[in-house]
Structure 1
Amino acid sequence: MESNSFLNDLSFTEDKVRISVILESSFSKEIRIAFKKGQVMKEHKTPFPIVVHLLEGAIEFGVEGDKHQLKKGDILTLEGNVPHDLLAKEESVVRLTLSKLDTADRVKEVAENSK
């Protein structure tokens, strides 16, 4: 058994969203994305389905041009290869569940290219 908390050692950076691997299991990777208000992750796609769970804050989640307002507690799934983007409407913490076949480095690269 492994355990951790999405709220342990939580910190934000001014220049880009902060990506942290919180837990890895035999079937998934649990990623924390910490946004300061106004930070974005530009439009991108994932090769595999994902689950996005907003733990704190408010996020505008764009899917193929449609904007969806997420509030604390909201959760959604998205199939692979669907263009999407995120904009923090306030300081926010997102739980991202990735397939074991996907990589956290890919998510970090999206964050780097969103500055």
Structure 2
Amino acid sequence: MQKISFTENLEFNDHKIVTKVLLETSFSKEIRILLKEGQQMKEHRAPFPIIVHIVQGTIDFGVQGTLHKLKQGDIITLDANVPHDLLALSDSIVRLTLSKQDAAERVEKVVADSEK
């Protein structure tokens, strides 16, 4: 058994999106993404299905050119290789569930590429 909190020890950064793997199980990786208002993750794809849960805040979640406004408590799923992007409309905590086969480093690369 493991216990974690998505809302404790928050360290938002004015200059970059903050990601952290909070939990890894035999089947998934749970990643916390902290976005300040206005920060964005440019369009990208995940090689495996994902689940995105808005723990706090509001984001515009673009899926293949269509915007979905997601607010606290909302959950969205995507199949593998679906283009998507995120824009924080307010300071937001996002829970990203990845397949065990996916790499957390891939998410960090998306963040780094979004800063360019």
Using structure 1 for the length normalisation, give the TM-score: 0.98
1:21 aligned residue: 21
Tell me if structure 2 keeps the 8 A contact 1:16–1:114: no
Determine the C-alpha separation between the residues in 2 that align with 1:79 and 1:109.
20
For structure 1, list consecutive stretches of 5 or more residues without a partner in the other structure.
none
For structure 2, list consecutive stretches of 5 or more residues without a partner in the other structure.
none
1:10 aligned residue: 10
1:6-49: CA deviations, max 9, x gaps? Answer: 11211111122100001000000000000000000000000000
Determine the C-alpha separation between the residues in 1 that align with 2:61 and 2:11.
22
Determine the C-alpha separation between the residues in 1 that align with 2:110 and 2:56.
21
Code of the aligned partner of 2:28:
S
RMSD: 0.6
Identity of counterpart residues, as a percentage? Answer: 57
Determine the C-alpha separation between the residues in 2 that align with 1:35 and 1:98.
18
Code of the aligned partner of 1:95:
R
2:113 aligned residue: 113
1:65-115: CA deviations, max 9, x gaps? Answer: 000000110001000100000000000000000000001100011001111
Code of the aligned partner of 2:43:
E
Code of the aligned partner of 1:26:
S
Determine the C-alpha separation between the residues in 2 that align with 1:41 and 1:29.
19
Runs of 4+ in 1 over 3 A off after TM superposition: none
2:88 aligned residue: 88
1:37 aligned residue: 37
Partner SS state of residue 23, structure 1: strand
